[in-house]
Structure 1
Amino acid sequence: MKTCRFGMWPVLPLNVHFKKPSDYKPFPLDEENLQIYSRARHAMYNACKALGWGKEDAILVPAYHHGSEIQALCDLDIQLKYYELTDKLEPNPEELDQLMTTNVRALYITHYLGFPQNAAFWRKWCDERNIMLIEDAAQAFLAERDGIPVGSHGDFSIYCLYKTYGLPDGGALVSKKPLKDNYAKAPSGVWPMVKRHINFVSEQRGEVAGLHLRFNDAMSVYKKVKNESNEKELQLGDPTTRASAMTMKLLPLLLDENTAAKRRENYRYMLSKLGELVPPPFNELPDGASPFAFPVKLNDAKEFLARLKKKGVIGQLFWLNPHPTLPKAEFPFSIELREGVMALPVHQDLSVKELDKIINAVKECLPVVQL
């Protein structure tokens, strides 16, 4: 029997085109000062550009980052002041104060894996120092803390809509004050939509999953030969690109007020079976979280991922490669996270039966890895 494929990203069911648009319009989609670009990195770039920030300005940014958001700042020649995280994946106020200079314009915080930071605290901290607060909610669309949606406290905040729903693209920007948009073209989004449909079928049919895995393996080899993988992953692209026409059509069909609750339900189930592998602070699920993925920490994550892939489960080493501007030796905790924390699927489209397949695959691979 062929093994199905379970990936990190939410899939796009084939019947979505026959659904009725939802009346549900969560934050920030209900906000007046909303712009939706193709990618969240575009949103970041355009917000900073609209504020006139450049080579004379600096932002406090986390050493634990994806890299594309950092590249967006670099493309504007903004100075970067990296800070290390605490074991709770929060900034250390004392370290931040040591980094403060007169040209610091903002503090950048990230809501990792859909787990809300204490943004209310950081809002007050920024106000006391007369700087702005940027909330990176790329992985935290639909998350909230104390009933307040993630991103509400930021002077501006960014979201990746396609990390929560099976959309072709969609990087949202919301701001407290109006920011001039930088819109130009909008792609059709048809081919990315087709790929999301293929991901859905791969979760249902093993023979399709096998072909999909082989195709992705071939593309990975090609990118390595061309030395494209990490470089392309960080590139800004055209920051004027709007969200695709297909994303704007599909979004109202996919929005569901139960999405975050279903992700939490799936996360709790995974936590009950694999909790001993989950590093803090992710070993406790906050009420308002909207988990993007299920993290596990292993000594030999790369070897584990390779074995897991053969069983049809596509995990990822979470943010393995930092932006080249990061002085890695100065941030050992962030590097440890990059090399040891891997992410497993937990999205809302997975049933308990499918979660059990993922859990069993993980357990079967565990004896190979020394914990």
Structure 2
Amino acid sequence: MSLRRLAIWPTLPLNTYFRKPADQTPFPLNQEGCRIFSLARQAIWNASKSMGLQENDVILTPAYHHGSEVEALLQAGLKIKYYDINENLEPDPEELESLITEEVKAFYLIHYLGFPQNATFWKTWCEKHQLIFIEDAAQAFLAHFQGQPLGSFGQMGIFCLYKTYGIPDGGAVICTSPPSLPQVPAKLGWWKVFKRHFNWVAAHRGELGAIHLWVSPIIRWWKVKRYKPHAEFNLDDPNTPPTKLTLSLLPKLLSEETFEIRRKNYQYLLDQISEWVPMPFRKLTEGACPFAFPVQMDNPTAFLEKLRKKGVMGLLFWINPHPSLPVESFPQSKKFREKMLALPVHQELNQSELDQIIHAVKTSI
């Protein structure tokens, strides 16, 4: 059976090398104080140091997180005090106020899946409590709130560029006290570029997608055999710069159309399969730039396997929290981890591929 393989991560078209650089550069890349490292977690570590946060300072951090950002904060010598989110993925101001002590110096807010939190409210709230406002816009590059770019409201904004474009890496940070530029020699990044090119071809040629469908169980078995718990949180060298191919390809990929295409794709999927979308994401809010399309299932593992056989490579979103999190103490975050899945919505998808995703979901329930 010939199936196009559609993955969460944006693919890299083969003609990228022949494109002209974009005329305009979006926030924060157009800011003099913007720094780009290989990974966003490295940007967090460096910015935490440059912002003057001291060892053992406490950061209010969401229990619903990836884990790499938590590890970066811990490696920077900081302490974490977790807070839960409500059913709309929003923090509760009353809960947060009960957590504030003299040791608490910053508040960490995540804009989940590219959907903006009320950044204006949280900026004012942080000012009232004299806390550093850290905005995690890793999934929200190009998104905005009330006409202002996400990541620009706080004293620190974090962005993960390869979640939006098919480049090898790239974690950007903008903050009131910019860190030094990374000093380690940059790698080329050819292997990750090859994989993004492969994904682009597999999304357009069913023959490659069918091959991947056949070999993927073997790849998964091999990964399980070599699995190292919590390795996905590793900071590596925090002074690692982005690869050379990231810096050369990114200007050719930047486009004002990316924001609109992602929104258009999201709305098209939403119109067809909204009944399985978690409540916070059932409306495409103004300013959102979707990273992925979320669905919520009681049997996520079996559902994902059915999708895979139909060529749609979804994932269980943030299933593994940082080991420092007492999972049972944060029930709402636990619920999202166990049931929320992410499906492709990126700008390289065409109409036929979106229809493939819709068909796969409807026939896998």
TM-score normalised according to structure 1 size: 0.96
Quote how far apart the aligned CAs of 1:52 are.
Answer: 4.1
Quote how far apart the aligned CAs of 1:213 are.
Answer: 3.9
Quote the sequence identity (%).
49
Question: Helix, strand or coil: the match of 1:365?
Answer: coil
Q: What code does the residue aligned with 1:272 have?
A: D
Counterpart Cα distance in 2 of 1:249 and 1:216: 31
Q: Gapped runs of 5+ residues in structure 1?
A: 367-371
Counterpart Cα distance in 2 of 1:69 and 1:216: 29
CA contact (8 A) 1:187 1:241 kept: no
Quote how far apart the aligned CAs of 1:55 are.
Answer: 3.5
Question: Helix, strand or coil: the match of 1:72?
Answer: helix
Quote how far apart the aligned CAs of 1:336 are.
Answer: 0.5
Counterpart Cα distance in 2 of 1:346 and 1:181: 33
Partner of 2:146: 146
Q: What code does the residue aligned with 2:360 have?
A: A
Counterpart Cα distance in 1 of 2:158 and 2:135: 7
Partner of 2:103: 103
Q: What code does the residue aligned with 1:44 have?
A: I
Question: Helix, strand or coil: the match of 2:6?
Answer: coil
Quote how far apart the aligned CAs of 1:212 are.
Answer: 3.0
Q: Does 1:316 align with 2:312?
A: no
Question: Helix, strand or coil: the match of 2:125?
Answer: helix
Partner of 2:364: 365
- Mapping 1:200-349, distance limit 5 Å: 200-228=200-228, 230-349=229-348
CA contact (8 A) 1:64 1:84 kept: yes
Structure 1 stretch displaced more, 184-193 or 328-337: 184-193
Deviations 1:201-254 (A, max 9, x none): 0001122123334454333222211222x5221111111110111000001100
- Mapping 1:81-96, distance limit 5 Å: 81-96=81-96
Quote how far apart the aligned CAs of 1:54 are.
Answer: 4.5
Counterpart Cα distance in 1 of 2:287 and 2:353: 24
Deviations 1:102-149 (A, max 9, x none): 111110000000001111111111111111000000000000111111
Counterpart Cα distance in 1 of 2:186 and 2:55: 30
Partner of 2:177: 177
Q: Does 1:34 align with 2:34?
A: yes
Quote how far apart the aligned CAs of 1:352 are.
Answer: 1.4
Q: Does 1:61 align with 2:61?
A: yes
Partner of 1:369: none
CA contact (8 A) 1:185 1:240 kept: no
CA contact (8 A) 1:22 1:253 kept: yes
CA contact (8 A) 2:51 2:177 kept: no
Question: Helix, strand or coil: the match of 2:313?
Answer: coil
Counterpart Cα distance in 2 of 1:46 and 1:85: 27
Structure 1 stretch displaced more, 319-328 or 203-212: 203-212
Q: What code does the residue aligned with 2:257 have?
A: N
Q: Gapped runs of 5+ residues in structure 2?
A: none
Partner of 1:159: 159
Counterpart Cα distance in 1 of 2:232 and 2:333: 19
Quote how far apart the aligned CAs of 1:84 are.
Answer: 0.4
Counterpart Cα distance in 2 of 1:212 and 1:180: 42
Q: What code does the residue aligned with 2:345 have?
A: V
Counterpart Cα distance in 2 of 1:35 and 1:214: 41
Counterpart Cα distance in 2 of 1:351 and 1:254: 17
Query: What is the root-mean-square deviation of aligned Cα atoms in Å?
Result: 1.2
